[in-house]
Amino acid sequence: MIAVQTPEGSTEDARPVVQMHGINKSFYGVPVLRDVDLEIRRGEVHALAGGNGAGKSTLMKILQGVYSKDSGEIFIEGEPVQLNTIQDARAAGIGMVFQEFSLIPSLTVAQNIYLTVEPKGRFGLIGDREARRRAARVFADMDVVVDCAALVGSLSTAYWQLTEIAKALAQDARVLIMDEPTASLARHEVAALFTLIGRLKARGISIIYISHRMDEVYRIADRITILRDGKRLMTEPLSSVTPEQIVEGIVGRQVHGALEYRERDASTGGEVLLEAVDLHSGQRVNGISFELRAGEIIGLAGLMGSGRTELARCLFGIDRPDSGEIRVRGKAVDVSNPRAAIQAGLALIPEDRREQGLVLDHSVRDNILLPLLDQTTQGPLLDLGAGKRLAKKLIDRFEVKVTDPDKPVRSLSGGNQQKVVIAKWLGTEPEVLIMDEPTAGVDIGTKSEIVAIIRRLADSGRGVIVISSEYPELLAVSDRVLVMRDGTVAQELRRTDIPDEETLQLAVLGV
């Protein structure tokens, strides 16, 4: 049913711009890619999907000249090429829009676009004015307005991305690799990005689109290639596969309603665990009050900048409240720093796991044990054996896939890294868990596992606050949804009062 061969001749102008054939790659004897084929046609949006660790990023890094392949061939416009360096790939017309933007904040937009390929001005010096003129032309072709003389650091992430795209186009990229391009965009910015992608397609530029978000893939991609365990599973036009097939292909098993809401009866009548009373903090938290009961899951919905993250920071003592009160089990607590919050029984899974959640170069075990050092000391010394056992227990309990807990956490996939953060925090046995975007950049299999963990926690009588920009997931877990706007709770909805995603979306937009 699902053919491995690419169906031929679906469109007239289907000449492949990029052909990767029989690509193999191993790291330290562990095969990461096995005989992978990928074919990108002119002017198509080609979605690349797969779980964390399926080999997507390795394959893309080979195409970008970052890694060298062990075997296999790459053809650009039918010509065999060797992509040994990033410069080779760039010369071959491969452009990358980085997930973590590769821009230098202290330089201007134009300077960034022409970094290392600066146009020459008079006397062979760098011609900043010429760079600005050319950059303006690139943006004009993209049909967007960006101030080329502005410092990148002063612009919002949406403009960073536009600059990234312009940077690739300025170097005559014929293929653009976009890795989770909508991850840091607001909804209307996503729409603008998709319009732009449409325009690029019309110019014959091909786009390799990596995303975990199924709705986006269906909106803009023409074909999809799914990788699993380093092998290509299928390449199909999106018109001929169902979302279920894709999800099943990525996960490798049937997922039935993992992201569906399940009626939970623990949601009412529990003791009030956490209470915020007229909380004010900085610009973004302007008088927030709510109660969280034992066994309850509250979802926080809202646009970027609506104060969700700031509320979490305030509750966890990272930012001090200017006024108002935080009560745990009815008692006012002074959470002036994270230590006090932990003491009061709170835990926060922060928004940015790499920056705020993990010490990337330290081992999985050391990361898990960091908040638990008191549990593994004997007298003044750390009890390494006890630490090992405790870490092992948590790794098993949260099914972190790791061959060796001594490996640095950096070597894990995004989903597994997130599980390490979760394991580390749940080891502290918090009564209230606050999770800020717990499934961002996590594959769909891990996503459903995290959803299950959240439910289990609430079932065991703890309170959970989930912040998420992904509505399906928010609706899957929340018993109540607080819609935030301008630092206040604009609306409080019981889950049963939200029939579908659209209703929530409208509530968030305040329509």
Partner 1 sequence: MSQQSTVEPTEKAPAPSFKERLASVDWRRYIIYIAFVVVFVLFAIMLGNEGFLSRNNLLNIFRQTATITVIAVGMTFVISCAEIDLSVGSIAGLSSVVSAMTIANYGLVPGIIAGLAVGALVGATNGALVSLLGIPSFLVTLGMLGIAFGIAQWITDSAPQPILDDTFNTIFGGGDIGPVPGLLIWMALAVTVGAVVLARTKFGRQVLATGGNRMASEFTGVNTKRIKFSVLLISGTMASLAGMLYAGRLQSGRFQWGSGDELSAIAAVILGGTSLFGGSGTIIGTLVGALLIGLINNGLILAGLESSQQQVIRGVIIILAVALARKK
Residue 361: CB minimum distance to partner 1, A: 5
Kindly tell me which of 79 and 355 has the beta carbon lying closer to partner 1.
355
Given a contact cutoff of 8 angstroms between Cβ atoms, the answer to whether 380 and 372 are in contact is no
Given a contact cutoff of 8 angstroms between Cβ atoms, the answer to whether 205 and 222 are in contact is no
Name which position in 265, 355, 404, 500 contacts partner 1 (CB under 8 A).
355
Residue 381 as a binder of partner 1 (CB under 8 A): the answer is yes
Residue 253 as a binder of partner 1 (CB under 8 A): the answer is yes
* Stretch binding partner 1 (CB under 8 A), from 168-176, 286-294, 376-384, 492-500: 376-384
Residue 373 as a binder of partner 1 (CB under 8 A): the answer is yes
For tokens 């292909």, the residue is: 249
Kindly tell me which of 50 and 181 has the beta carbon lying closer to partner 1.
50
| Burial 311-322, CB ≥16 within 10 A → b, else e | bbbbbbbbbebe
Token digits of residue 498? 């939200």
Kindly tell me which of 150 and 360 has the beta carbon lying closer to partner 1.
360
Kindly tell me which of 128 and 229 has the beta carbon lying closer to partner 1.
229
Residue 217 as a binder of partner 1 (CB under 8 A): the answer is no
Token digits of residue 389? 């056992």
Return the residues of window 259-318 that contact partner 1 according to CB under 8 A: 316, 318
Residue 511 as a binder of partner 1 (CB under 8 A): the answer is no
By the 10 Å C-beta count (0-12 exposed, 13-18 middle, 19+ buried), 88 is classed as middle
Residues touching partner 1, count (CB under 8 A):
42
Given a contact cutoff of 8 angstroms between Cβ atoms, the answer to whether 135 and 166 are in contact is yes
Order of strands across the sheet that contains 94-97? 94-97, 175-179, 206-210, 45-50, 223-228, 231-237
In degrees and rounded to multiples of 5, residue 324 shows phi and psi of 100, 180
Return the residues of window 189-208 that contact partner 1 according to CB under 8 A: none
Return the residues of window 401-430 that contact partner 1 according to CB under 8 A: 424
Given a contact cutoff of 8 angstroms between Cβ atoms, the answer to whether 47 and 224 are in contact is yes
Name which position in 43, 50, 307, 357 contacts partner 1 (CB under 8 A).
357
H-run or E-run covering 311 = helix 308-315
H-run or E-run covering 191 = helix 187-202
Kindly tell me which of 385 and 510 has the beta carbon lying closer to partner 1.
385
Token digits of residue 64? 């970008």
Kindly tell me which of 208 and 318 has the beta carbon lying closer to partner 1.
318
Residue 382: CB minimum distance to partner 1, A: 5
Residue 306: CB minimum distance to partner 1, A: 22
Residue 350 as a binder of partner 1 (CB under 8 A): the answer is yes
Given a contact cutoff of 8 angstroms between Cβ atoms, the answer to whether 62 and 83 are in contact is yes
Given a contact cutoff of 8 angstroms between Cβ atoms, the answer to whether 478 and 298 are in contact is yes
Binding-site ranges for partner 1 (CB under 8 A): 1-5, 28-30, 229, 233-234, 252-253, 316, 318, 337-339, 341-342, 348, 350, 355-362, 366, 369-371, 373-374, 377, 380-382, 384, 424
